[in-house]
């Protein structure tokens, strides 16, 4: 099995990885060089002390009477080596090509006056002995147990503290650098064409402040642009109603016949399209409606009873047992549009409501109609898009009903989605947060 390590996808993880690797390598290199320099200094000092001690000790033993040397040996004993009067322990001849540094120091110190023999002694740790003969013929053994220079107990703790400091500083640096981008991405996700989106804080570093000002300006320009277009659409649609009404009035005075019926039908379609255009333009601006606290169960019961009073097959399923903050007229318009579509294409509709915990609540309008092709589920939410290919308004509509519902759902802080049901039919789901502003 071959393991592959991919490059992190998020900017924060990439920056953290780069900073940590570079800082840890630089710190490790600095720490290693410092430790090596300390090791070399300590080794030089230790070998200097060893050479001085060997010279002094051997000189003292040379001048002491043979019967007094044994009593002096404990005074010359050290942690890593000691002196033995005798041949010492049996061992094997040392390979001088791989001898320790201390062996070379002994040879440099005593080798000019004495013949030295080195033997490795079997032991659980490095152990060797140096043999020489004093001037009176007495054998002397230097028993050496080399050990690694002890590490200062505070050095590992210092290394851990430094690494923790590196991780903390890296996290703070990456967080400081990424936070403005995170706020900007969140603001883009919540961008409202009506200008009601979140404005970015324009304080902070110069680059961040410039980006925030640019985004806020762009958001305001988009809102102004959309508002002007919607006002234009609303004005044209509104003004068209007057000449259409006059033409319908004049058509009333025409003689009965096929031409009159066709003209009346065309004028009715035009009037319906104009009314839908006005409704769509108004749906772009729901800020004029105040937010109210609504008992959702009672609200849906009232909507269902209104349809049932008109002998429409509409059923309500589920309860929430709570209230929400919403704009009731906008919410009613969304549900009426979705229910009317279900009744038009299926003859019956079921409204199903359920809570989603922290994710808010879901209101589904279900039917058993022909459904919509998967490729068109998103397209039908666009203005003036109709699944029905004919130009008949009774079957195809104006193509604004779902677009209005989508726009109102966004204004309520929710989302509208369409999906085909198993067994046939369509599910139009409106998801709302617990509190809609």
Max mean pLDDT range (74-83, 173-182, 205-214, 309-318): 309-318
Q: Which of 103, 104, 105, 113 is nearest to 59 (CA)?
A: 113
User: In this structure, are strands 92-93 and 117-120 parallel, antiparallel, or unpaired?
Assistant: antiparallel
* pLDDT above 90 coverage of the chain, percent: 2
Beta bridge partners, 295, equal: 323
- For helices 11-63 and 154-189, what crossing angle results, to 10°? 170
HSE, CB side, 13 Å, CA atoms: give it for residue 62: 13
What does the block give as tokens for 61? 């033993």
Architecture of domain 288-385+393-432: 2-Layer Sandwich (3.30)
> Is residue 119 predicted with pLDDT exceeding 70?
yes
What gap in Å lies between CA 177 and CA 18, rounded to an integer?
14
Please indicate whether residue 97 or residue 313 has the higher confidence score (pLDDT). 313
Q: What is the pLDDT of residues 296-321, one digit of tens each?
A: 888 888 989 988 888 989 998 988 87
Look up residue 111 and give its DSSP letter. Answer: T
Max mean pLDDT range (6-20, 170-184, 273-287): 170-184
What gap in Å lies between CA 337 and CA 276, rounded to an integer?
12
> Is residue 117 predicted with pLDDT exceeding 60?
yes
What gap in Å lies between CA 381 and CA 49, rounded to an integer?
89
- Quick one: pLDDT at residue 280? 64
Task: Go through 302-330 and write b for each residue having 16 or more CB atoms within 10 A of its CB, e for each that does not.
Answer: ebbeebeeeebebebebebeebbebbeeb
- Quick one: pLDDT at residue 389? 44
Under the banding of pLDDT at 50, 70 and 90, the label for residue 437 is very low
> Is residue 156 predicted with pLDDT exceeding 60?
yes
Classify residue 264 as exposed, middle or buried by CB count within 10 Å of its CB (0-12, 13-18, 19+).
Answer: middle
> Is residue 391 predicted with pLDDT exceeding 70?
no
Under the banding of pLDDT at 50, 70 and 90, the label for residue 392 is very low
What gap in Å lies between CA 114 and CA 142, rounded to an integer?
13
- The ranges assigned to domains in the chain are 11-144, 288-385+393-432
> Is residue 195 predicted with pLDDT exceeding 80?
no
* pLDDT above 70 coverage of the chain, percent: 85
Number of neighbours of residue 408 by Cβ within 10 angstroms:
25
Under the banding of pLDDT at 50, 70 and 90, the label for residue 193 is low
Under the banding of pLDDT at 50, 70 and 90, the label for residue 436 is very low
Under the banding of pLDDT at 50, 70 and 90, the label for residue 118 is confident
- Provide the mean pLDDT of the chain: 79
Q: What is the pLDDT of residues 252-283, one digit of tens each?
A: 777 787 887 788 887 777 777 776 666 666 66
**11-144 belongs to CATH 3.30.450:** yes
Reduce the DSSP state of residue 128 to 3 states and report it: strand
Reduce the DSSP state of residue 325 to 3 states and report it: strand
* Fold matches, 11-144 and 288-385+393-432: no
Question: What number is the average pLDDT over the span 332-342?
Answer: 88
What gap in Å lies between CA 408 and CA 413, rounded to an integer?
9
Q: What is the pLDDT of residues 20-53, one digit of tens each?
A: 788 778 877 887 787 778 777 777 777 777 888 8
> Is residue 109 predicted with pLDDT exceeding 80?
yes
Instruction: Go through the chain and tell me how many residues it has.
Output: 437
């Amino acid at each position: 099995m071959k393991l592959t390590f991919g490059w992190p996808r998020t900017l924060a993880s990439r920056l953290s990885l780069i900073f940590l690797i570079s800082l840890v390598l630089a710190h490790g290199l600095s720490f290693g060089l410092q430790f090596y320099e300390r090791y070399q200094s300590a080794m030089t000092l230790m070998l200097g002390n060893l050479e001085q001690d060997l010279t002094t000790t051997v000189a003292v033993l040379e001048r002491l009477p043979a019967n007094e040397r044994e009593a002096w040996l404990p005074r010359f004993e050290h942690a890593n080596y000691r002196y033995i009067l005798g041949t010492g322990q049996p061992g094997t001849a040392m390979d001088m090509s791989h001898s320790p540094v201390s062996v070379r120091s002994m040879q440099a110190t005593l080798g000019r006056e004495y013949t030295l023999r080195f033997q490795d002694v079997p032991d659980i740790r490095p152990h060797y002995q140096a043999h020489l003969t004093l001037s009176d013929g007495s054998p002397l053994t230097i028993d050496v147990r080399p050990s690694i220079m002890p590490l200062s107990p505070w050095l590992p703790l210092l290394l851990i503290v430094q690494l923790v400091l590196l991780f903390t500083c890296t996290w703070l640096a990456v967080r400081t650098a990424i936070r403005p981008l995170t706020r900007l991405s969140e603001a883009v996700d919540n961008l409202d064409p009506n200008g009601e989106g979140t404005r970015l804080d324009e304080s902070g570093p110069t680059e961040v402040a410039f980006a925030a000002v640019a985004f806020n300006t762009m958001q305001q320009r988009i809102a102004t642009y959309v508002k002007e277009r919607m006002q234009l659409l609303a004005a044209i649609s509104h003004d068209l109603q007057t000449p259409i009404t006059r033409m319908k009035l004049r058509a009333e005075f025409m003689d009965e016949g096929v031409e009159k019926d066709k003209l009346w039908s065309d004028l009715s379609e035009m009037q319906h399209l104009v009314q839908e255009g006005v409704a769509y333009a108004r749906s772009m601006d729901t800020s004029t409606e105040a937010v109210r606290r609504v008992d959702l169960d009672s609200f849906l019961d009232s909507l269902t009873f209104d349809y049932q009073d008109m002998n429409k097959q509409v059923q309500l399923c589920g309860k929430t047992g709570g209230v929400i903050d919403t704009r009731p007229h906008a919410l009613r318009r969304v549900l009426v549009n979705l229910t009317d579509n279900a009744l038009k294409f299926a003859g019956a509709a079921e409204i199903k409501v359920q809570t989603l915990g922290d994710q808010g609540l879901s209101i589904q309008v279900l039917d058993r109609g022909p459904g919509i092709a998967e490729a068109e589920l998103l397209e039908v939410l666009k203005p003036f898009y109709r699944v029905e290919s004919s130009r008949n308004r009774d079957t195809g509509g104006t193509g604004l009903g779902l677009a209005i519902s989508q726009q109102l759902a966004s204004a309520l802080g929710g989302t509208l989605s369409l999906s085909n049901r198993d067994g046939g039919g369509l599910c139009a789901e409106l998801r709302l947060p617990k509190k809609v502003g």
